[in-house]
Structure 1
């Protein structure tokens, strides 16, 4: 497994496994505690694993956690997604930078997203499963959602948006979110 820093988002990392493929399909290690530790990620900090399944065109995001934030390791375990990270840590050298990734069940690449970064994705296939490994127990009172179509962010979603949750439909812009948190 190769670990690559994401230059535009300080602290973000791509974990790129080496799937072993043959006529049966493939086998791939998707997490290795020693490799995570060697990359500066405490493997024992993860408290929760979750999975979402989305149909083609669905956008989930942009989400982050208030308070101490939430680090996560995300992977498209089946299908393909257009994944987005926005650095919203005011003290970060990459503050306000965005980065986009195509995560796929074929590659099993995992993306480590540091606390304080907003995250979202769009399903490019039907279905697309995204697995999350999260370092904090979920506390709904700390949920922060930013409009996926905020003109200030101008995220280039590759497909027409087919479905979004009611929470995401009602999400404020980044500017409105930051005014409230001050």
Structure 2
């Protein structure tokens, strides 16, 4: 497994595994504490694992947490997703930068999203399973949602949104969400 910095987002990383393929399929390591540690992250900091299953066109996001924020490792374990990170840390050298990725079950690449960054994704395949490993227990009172189509974010979603949660549909724009986050 190798770690690569994401130049658009300070402190974000992609972790690319080395799959071993044969006639049975493939095997790869999707989490390696030593590799995580090699980029200055504490592998023991991750306290909760979750998974979501989405149908093609489902859009989830843009989400972040208020207070101390939430760092996460995100991986598409099956299917493909268009993944988005927006740096909303006011003192970051990459403040308001965006980065886009295609994560897939074929590559098993993991994205590290630093605390203070908004995150969202859209399923590109009929079924897409997305795994999250987060560094704080989830507290719904800290949830902040930003309108996926806010013109200040200008995210080039690849498909028309097929389904979204009520929270995502009714999310405020970026300016209001930033006020909520404080």
**Counterpart for residue 26 of structure 1:** 26
CA offsets 1:46-99 (integer angstroms, 9 cap, x no match): 000000000000000000010000000000000000000000000000000000
List alignment gaps of at least 5 residues for structure 2. none
Question: Secondary structure in 2 aligned to 1:177?
Answer: helix
Deviation at residue 154 of structure 1 after TM alignment: 1.1
**Counterpart for residue 119 of structure 2:** 119
RMSD: 0.8
**Counterpart for residue 87 of structure 2:** 87
**Counterpart for residue 2 of structure 1:** 2
Question: Secondary structure in 1 aligned to 2:150?
Answer: coil
Deviation at residue 118 of structure 1 after TM alignment: 0.1
Question: Secondary structure in 2 aligned to 1:8?
Answer: coil
Taking the TM superposition and a 5 Å limit, the aligned residue runs for 1:14-163 are 14-163=14-163
Give the number of aligned pairs: 182
Change (3 A) 1:134 1:180: closer
List alignment gaps of at least 5 residues for structure 1. none
- Equivalents in 2 of 1:106, 1:24: separation in Å? 14
- Equivalents in 2 of 1:11, 1:99: separation in Å? 12
Deviation at residue 111 of structure 1 after TM alignment: 0.3
Deviation at residue 181 of structure 1 after TM alignment: 4.2
Q: TM-score, normalization: structure 1?
A: 0.98
C-alpha contact 2:144 2:181 (8 A) present in aligned 1: no
